[in-house]
Every structure is written in C-alpha cells, then in structure tokens.
Structure 1
C-alpha cells in the first residue's frame, strides 16, 4: 500500500472535502483526488462518495480512517523527528488545559516556554472536558487527578488542596457533636456535601446562600463577605497572606495536576521539553496561581 496515498486519504477525510484539504496542504485538488482514487484501486473498494452535496465516507472509508488516523500521526511525528533531529525542539505544540488553570497560569507559562524554545508555536485550548488527544490532535493535556489510562503517560507536576475560607468578619464556629450549619457559597456543579475539616472535630453543613459556577466567583463572593466557601488554596493564597480571607481548614484529598501525553505517539522533543518545563516550573510541587 502506498503510504502517501493513505496520508492523502486521511487528509481529505479529516478535512471533510478535497477543497478544504487542498487549502490546508497547499496541494491541488486534482492531485489529492488522483491519490485517493489510486488508493481505492489498490484496495478494490470505494472509500469516498463524491456528489454535488459534498463528500461522504463509505463504510469502508470510515473503517479505514478509524484504524489509520492515529498510526498516521505517529508516522508523521517519526518522520518529522528524523528530519529535524531528535534534539530539535520546534514545531506546533497543541495543549489542552482546564479552564481555571488556563486562565490563571497558561498565558505566562506559554510565554515563558516560548522564550526558552522560540522555534515552537503553542496552541493552548482551555477545556474542562476530557479531550481525546489522538482524535483531536493534542500533543499534551493538563488534567487534575486523572483516572488511570493505559493510553496516556505523563508526570504529576503540582499538588493543590481544597480549603474552607471566609472573610475575617465571619466568626469561625466551635465544633459540636453534629455538623454546624453555616451560610455558604457553593459550587453550582456540586452541592450537598458536608465539609469535614482535616485534623479537626469541626464539620460544616453548608447552607447555600449563593450557587456559583466558577471558582473565581466563589472566591470573590467570599471576599465580599457573602459566606463561607470551599476553593483550591492555589487561588486564595494571596488573600490568605494579606488577611483578606481566613482559612478555617483543609478538606478532602489532595488535588494532583498532571501533564499527560499519549503513549501511542512517539514523545517528540517538543513534548518532552514541555513536560520537563512544567516539572521545573513547580519544583516543590506547590501550586500558587495569581489572578
């Protein structure tokens, strides 16, 4: 099988047509069409149905794309690495990061990484959903507490803790035999938990006075004295240091932040450089975000 023809088929299929594939690759539609036709002839099956309405993959075409898209990325990475040399850190680095971390850290981190590696172009996408690194063509993803996944490898570069905080004007209650009810600013996506403070007999029963969908909104509402809230320490460390907020205690397990890449794809120099950079950026593992 002609790998170049297979690569052209993947190009056309993923772009959804010969025109878009032609513009993306800067090659003529006629050349791409001929290469796909050659592949169809080699395989003896129709891969693409062409019509005035556009392009549609046949069942055989869908199967071929599903089975070859990931491996073709690996081949492309291997060829690029061979051409550029295994020590060259260059090219486009596509990163998926959670929204909060992206908003408060990735702008500065991206600028710092590019100062170190000026031949790398970073493309950072803020996503709280679990992106598929292979299908969506991400090189790395930053994730909190990732589930074990045999397809991904990486490194934990920082840890965080959830802390219960309030404005100094709100007195901290004494521990009792049952959870103490407090006016609380709660995460709109999670509700109903009892907040047990580590190393303390005090447990809190949050009575929601505000439901907010952003950790930054939770923090800002607590600063305004609206109630008690539970947020990552990394986003309130400055307010705790200045006395604008008071920490009542830590709650729940540690939150680990990992930088991950697919184990199926060759770890290119740019991916290795970024993983090492993130680990070096947080040498003691503590996370402190500003914003």
Structure 2
C-alpha cells in the first residue's frame, strides 16, 4: 500500500473535503483527488461517496480512516522524535472536558502543562456531552461517570461526592416539609433527596425554585440564601469550612468519578502520556479535598 496515498486519504477524511484539505496542507486539490483515486483503485474499494457539494466516507472508508489515522500520526511523531534526538512531547493535543472541571481547574492546569511542554499546542473545548473522539479528532477526553465504551480506555484520576448544602440562615425542614431547592439542569416537580448524616439516613422533599446550567452558578445561588442544593464536595468545602454554607448531609448518590479516556486502538502518543502524568501529579490521591485545594490555589 502506498503510504503517501494513504496519508493523503487521511488528510481529506480528517478535513471533510478535498478543498479544505488542500488549503490546510497548502497542496493542489487535483493532486489530492488523484492520490485518493489511485488508492481506491489499488484497494478496489470506494472510500468516499462524492456528491455535487458533499463528500462522505463510505463504511469501508471510515474503517480505514479509524484504523490508519493514528498509526500515521505515530509514524510522523516517531520520525520527528528520532530526528530531534528525543521523545519530548510536541504537536497538537486536542482535549474535551466537562464544564465544571474546565471552569474551576483547567485554566491553571493547562497553563502549567504548556509551560512544562512548550512544544505542545494544547486545544481544549468545554462541553458536557460525550463527544465522538474519532469523528471529532480528539486525542483525550475527560468525562464524568462515563458509560462503558469498548472503543475507549483510560483511568480514573479524581473522585468526588455530592453533599446537600444551604445557607446557615435557611432552616432545615422537619416532618416532610418541602425545602426550596436550586437544581442543575431541567426543573421538574418536587424531588426526594436521600441524605446521610451522623444521625442516620433521611429524606428531604425538595421543591425546585431555580434551575441553573452549572454547579458554580448553583453554589452562588445557594450562598445568596435562595434554597438548598446538592453540590460536589470539592466545590463546597471552602464555604463549609468558612461557615458560609451549612452541610445538611451527604447525598446518597453514586460516587462521582472523573476519567481521562482515549481510543483503545491508538498508540499512546508522547503528548497524551505527558498529559496523563501531569494529571496524576496534580491529583496524586484523587480526593475531593485535593481537588478543592487545587481550586483554591
């Protein structure tokens, strides 16, 4: 198989068209088109469906792209590392991370990483949805309690848990009386929150009065005294220590775990390995208290 033609095919597939690929690489569009056509002829496969204005990978083309793209990247990085006499991380590293972790941690973390590895071009996008790593060309994703995915491998690097908190001025209800609640996400009807305190387990009837998009916003609204909320301990711990929030108990929810994930079919590049090691060094124990201390630094 012609590796140059395969590389041109990956270039076109990654950019979603001959024109975009030609502009990105500074090469003639006709050359890329000819190379891909030669590869299709050699493989006796159609790799792209060509429309008047669209270009779409066939099933065979997608399989070839997924299985060869990372290998070509590794070959290129290996050649550059050998040429430079070392394995220093370099090149673009694309990362997707959830909103809260990005808001509270990733600014400092990313800056420290790039200061340590200046030859890495780190690009971070923030969204809570589960991005498609292959289609969207991410090298690494951080996810909260991810669903099992056979195409991804990774490691837990942080653990957190939810606590029910409120302003000290807000009286805790008794006898099933509903409490005004601030929730993250959609606001439905009354909710029942299971809570564990030193005295035992109990339930709170939470009546949502405000719905917000992020836990940082929820915390600020709780500080204002509007109602109670379930917050990650790492986000609430400094307020609890200062007495600006009161702890009503641990929410009986599944433990929150943060995972760093990457495609299992890919060889682990030097830049991904370096970022994983940097995460581990930042949170060696992976506890909520450790995360809170990092946020407050």
Same fold (TM over 0.5): yes
Question: Is 1:76 the counterpart of 2:40 in the alignment?
Answer: no
Residue 194 (structure 2) aligns with: 196
1:26-175 maps to which residues of 2 (within 5 A)? Answer: 26-44=26-44, 47=47, 53-57=52-56, 62-83=58-79, 84-85=81-82, 87-173=87-173
TM-score by length of 2: 0.87
Of 168, 172, 178, 1:181 maps to 178
Q: Distance in 2 between matches of 1:157 and 1:220?
A: 27
Kept after mapping to 2: 8 A contact 1:17/1:54? no
Residue 270 (structure 1) aligns with: 271
Q: Distance in 2 between matches of 1:50 and 1:159?
A: 47
How far off is 1:249 after superposition?
Answer: 0.9
Q: Which runs of 4+ in 1 moved over 6 A?
A: none
TM-score by length of 1: 0.89
Question: Which deviates more, 179-188 or 87-96?
Answer: 179-188
CA offsets, 1:126-147, max 9 Å, x none?
0111112122111111111122
Identify if the C-alpha distance between structure 1 residues 46 and 163 changes in structure 2 by more than 3 Å, giving closer, same or farther: closer
Identify if the C-alpha distance between structure 1 residues 180 and 159 changes in structure 2 by more than 3 Å, giving closer, same or farther: farther
How far off is 1:215 after superposition?
Answer: 1.4
How many correspondences in the alignment?
284
Q: Distance in 2 between matches of 1:135 and 1:46?
A: 19
Q: Distance in 2 between matches of 1:207 and 1:26?
A: 59
Kept after mapping to 1: 8 A contact 2:184/2:212? yes
Residue 282 (structure 2) aligns with: 281
CA RMSD of aligned residues (A): 2.3
How far off is 1:180 after superposition?
Answer: 4.3
SS at match of 1:68: helix
SS at match of 2:196: coil
Q: Distance in 2 between matches of 1:180 and 1:213?
A: 26
Residue 236 (structure 2) aligns with: 236
Kept after mapping to 1: 8 A contact 2:178/2:206? yes
Identify if the C-alpha distance between structure 1 residues 44 and 278 changes in structure 2 by more than 3 Å, giving closer, same or farther: closer
Q: Distance in 2 between matches of 1:6 and 1:132?
A: 23
1:222-261 maps to which residues of 2 (within 5 A)? Answer: 222-251=222-251, 252-261=253-262
SS at match of 1:210: strand
Kept after mapping to 2: 8 A contact 1:48/1:55? no
Kept after mapping to 1: 8 A contact 2:10/2:69? no
SS at match of 1:54: coil
Q: Distance in 2 between matches of 1:260 and 1:180?
A: 43
